[in-house]
């Protein structure tokens, strides 16, 4: 069993961190995991993306053409990755920065106003946690509790006070995804 998740958006949206959080939580849950960023000049141009693979056995390729899930944090990322999601896979799209609908009907998708939800909670920087919460509801590769436990163990002391907000953001994202009637094959 192997689950591939691509997180894509602008630099500054916490994409790489959200991916690493998934990777840490997977490792802490005793799974095999790889996290690989798309590094390089592309990164300097303001886009950021990474691939996380979570598996029960030795992982081969750290990247795949057709991931099981995509978190598209902005429109260019949706344009690029919507066609790539594997049939029956999951697409979480950040409605706050996307002005079109998801076209695919053979995947599960959630359009979520992640920026607004994050701002409601009190910090726009929680957008990534909202997105992650939505993902984990539709693709329960890890539990929210596992993510929270990892956050608790790995957040540096000076950021420990943000634990509650992070947790709230994860849960708001999951709740939103739960309410959203998901399209599926």
Partner 1 sequence: MARELLEGNMAMAEAAIRAGVQAYFGYPITPQTELLEWMAKRMPELGRAFVQAESEVAAINMVYGAACTGVRVMSSSSSPGVSLMMEGLSYIAGTELPVVLIDVVRGGPGLGNIAPSQGDYNQIVHGGGHGDYHPIVLAPASVQEAVDLVVLAFDLAEKYRSIVVVLADGNIGQMMEPVELPEMQPVERPIPDWAVRGCEGRGRRVLSSIYIKPEEEEVTNLRLLQRWQTVQDNEIRYREYFMDDAEIVVLGYGTAGRIAFSAVRQARAEGIPVGLFRPVSLSPYPYAQVKAIAQRAKAMLVVEMNTGQMLDDVLRAVEGKVPVEFYGRLGGVVPYPDEILDEIRRIARGPISIGVDPRQAWMKRLSQLIMN
Give the number of other Cβ atoms within 10 Å of residue 120's Cβ.
Answer: 14
State the minimum distance, in angstroms, from the CB of residue 142 to partner 1.
14
- Tokens coding 11: 């630099």
State how far the Cα of 6 lies from the Cα of 180, in Å rounded to an integer: 21
Nearer to partner 1 among residue 153 and residue 164 (C-beta): 153
Shortest gap between Cβ of 85 and partner 1 (angstroms)? 15
- Residue of the chain from 5, 15, 23, 146 that contacts partner 1 (CB under 8 A): 23
Of 65 and 161, CB closest to partner 1:
65
Residue 179: CB minimum distance to partner 1, A: 33
22, 98, 124, 139 from 142: Cα distances, Å: 8, 27, 24, 8
- Smaller CB separation from partner 1, 21 or 72: 21
CB under 8 Å to 7, separation ≥6 — which residues? 15, 16, 18, 19, 49, 50, 51, 52, 70, 71, 73, 128, 131
Least distance to partner 1 from the beta carbon of 25, Å?
10
Is residue 83 a contact residue for partner 1 (CB under 8 A)? Answer: no
* 3 state DSSP class of 128: helix
34-63 residues near partner 1, rule: CB under 8 A: 34-37, 39-41, 58-63
Contact criterion met (CB below 8 Å) for 121 and 108: no
Interacting residue ranges for partner 1, rule: CB under 8 A: 20, 23-24, 27, 32-37, 39-41, 58-66
């Amino acid at each position: 069993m192997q689950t591939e998740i691509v997180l894509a958006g602008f630099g500054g949206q916490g994409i790489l961190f959200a991916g690493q959080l998934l990777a840490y939580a997977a490792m802490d849950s005793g799974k095999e995991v790889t996290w690989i960023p798309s590094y390089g000049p592309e990164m300097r141009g303001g886009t950021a993306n990474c691939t996380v693979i979570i598996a029960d056995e030795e992982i081969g390729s750290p990247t795949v053409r057709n991931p099981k899930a995509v978190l598209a944090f902005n429109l260019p990322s949706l344009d690029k990755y919507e066609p790539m999601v594997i049939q029956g896979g999951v697409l979480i799209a950040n409605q706050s920065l996307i002005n079109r609908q998801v076209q695919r009907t053979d995947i599960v998708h959630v359009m979520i106003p992640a920026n607004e939800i994050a701002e409601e909670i009190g910090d726009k920087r929680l957008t990534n946690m909202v997105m992650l919460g939505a993902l984990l509801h539709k693709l329960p590769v890890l539990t929210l509790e596992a993510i929270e436990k990892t956050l608790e163990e790995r957040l540096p002391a000076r950021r420990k006070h943000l634990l509650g907000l992070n947790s709230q953001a994860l849960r708001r994202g999951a709740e939103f995804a739960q309410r959203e009637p998901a399209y599926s094959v």
